[in-house]
Structure 1
Amino acid sequence: MYLSFFFATLLFTTSMTMIGAMLISHEVKQFKIYTQGISKTKQKVTLLGLLMESELARYEGKTAKEIGELTEFSFQDAVYALETGSELDYVESVARKVLHEAEGYLSNVYERIDVVLYFRSYTANKFILENPIEELENLAAPFDVDWCKETNSCVLAAWKDQLADRILISQPFKTTYSDSRAFSVISPVYYQGQIVGEFGEQIFLDSLRAEGKALTVDINNGNKHVVVYFPHYPWPDFAYTQTYVADNNNLIVYKYPFSKILIDFGFLYLIMFAVIFGYYSKAQESKESKIQLANAISDATKDELPELFNRKVFKERAFKNKIKMTTFTVIAIDGDRVKRINDKYGHHVGDEVISIIADAMKKVFRATDYLIRTGGDEFIAILPGCSESKSLMLAKILRSVVKENRLKSLDIDVSVSTGIAMSTEHETLKDVIMLADEDLYECKRKRC
Structure 2
Amino acid sequence: MNNNNHSILEEQQTSWFTKHFVVSHYLLNRVIVLSINVLLLTFLVVMNTQQEISAAKEYVQGNLNQIKKSIISLAYRNERYARTFSKQITTLQAPQTSALVDVHYYPELNEFGFNRNVYPSNLLNGSLIGAGKPTDEIEKETNFFPFLDDLWSQQHQNSIKYNYYYISHTSKYFYLSTKYSVSDFNTRKHFFSTSLYNHYRSDTNEQYQNKEGFYFTAPYTDYITHEKVITLKSPVHKARQVIGDIGVDIPIASLRSAITLPRNFKAYLTLFFNNKAEDSQINILQGSKTALGPYLTMKVDIDEQNAICAHLSILFFLSSVIQNIIIGLVIIFLLNYMYSLLKKYQFQKNHFQLEAFTDSLTGLFNRRIMEKILPRLVKEYQDKKTPVSIIAIDANDFKIINDTYGHEIGDKALIHIANNISHLSRKSDIGLRLGGDEFCIVLPDCPLDKAMRMANRLSIAINQSRFCEHNVQTSITAGCIEVTKNESLNDALKRADHILYQNKKNNKITEQLKKYQ
Same fold (TM over 0.5): no
TM-score (norm. length: structure 2) = 0.33
**Could you say which structure has the larger radius of gyration?**
1
TM-score (norm. length: structure 1) = 0.38
The structure, 1 or 2, with the larger RCO (C-alpha pairs under 8 Å, 6+ apart) is: 1
